[in-house]
Amino acid sequence: MQCDDLFSPSREGSLTAGVDEVGRGPLAGDVVTAAVILDPDQPIDGLNDSKKLSEKKRELLFDEIKQKSLSWAIGRASVEEIDQLNILQATMLAMTRAVEALPIQPDRVLVDGNRTPVWRYQSEAIIKGDGKVAEISAASILAKVTRDRELVELDKRHPEYGFAGHKGYPTKKHLDAIAEHGVLIEHRRSFGPVKRALESS
């Protein structure tokens, strides 16, 4: 899918930011969000839902998005905030942080999913927006590459858990590693498998 196949509302003259998150389901690490305002004069070919792109393609687009966008920013909520607030509210917080960190503020915001944060921006939630709206696709790529890189770094510190492979998701390998080696500070203690591991230890 090329950029021209996606709806890019910034071309209508308003500054529209796309927002997406990565990391709601994993048992470890921050939830990471990104906000992007694309430049209609510098189209980016190949934008799509980050999950449908190869790692190599995401890495290439990651740099191109940062270079060509009018404005971009990363937001996050920590493991502690996820455990304190719950993952949904932490995700909304991370999205708000990403948009507020944009060097150029948007006229409106399009958010991937079925809800938007409670904030001051004119906004709309778009289900599967990362495959429909160029700005959201770009945000999904920035968020995923950012978080994936952080989990690769975590893997270097704790190779026995296999974070570089599963990126914190509850795979059998990850659950077996938690059972054998215990819970790390990077694990989300409010998530069921981690909570059960703590209770049984």
- Tell me if 55 is assigned to a ligand binding site: no
- Tell me if 30 is assigned to a ligand binding site: no
Nearest to 106 by CA among 166, 50, 35: 35
Nearest to 112 by CA among 89, 138, 145: 138
- What does the DSSP assignment read for 86-135? -HHHHHHHHHHHHHHT-SS--SEEEEESS---SSSSEEEEETTGGGTBHH
Backbone angles phi, psi at 23, to 5 degrees: 105, 30
Backbone angles phi, psi at 119, to 5 degrees: -150, 180
Cα torsion through 105, 106, 111, 116, rounded to 10 = 70
Handedness of CA 56, 60, 61, 62 (dihedral sign): positive
How many whole angstroms separate alpha carbon 84 and alpha carbon 151?
Answer: 22
- Tell me if 180 is assigned to a ligand binding site: no
Residue 29, SS3 per DSSP: coil
Q: Which residues make up each annotated binding site for a divalent metal cation?
A: 20-21, 112
Q: Which residues make up each annotated binding site?
A: 20-21, 112
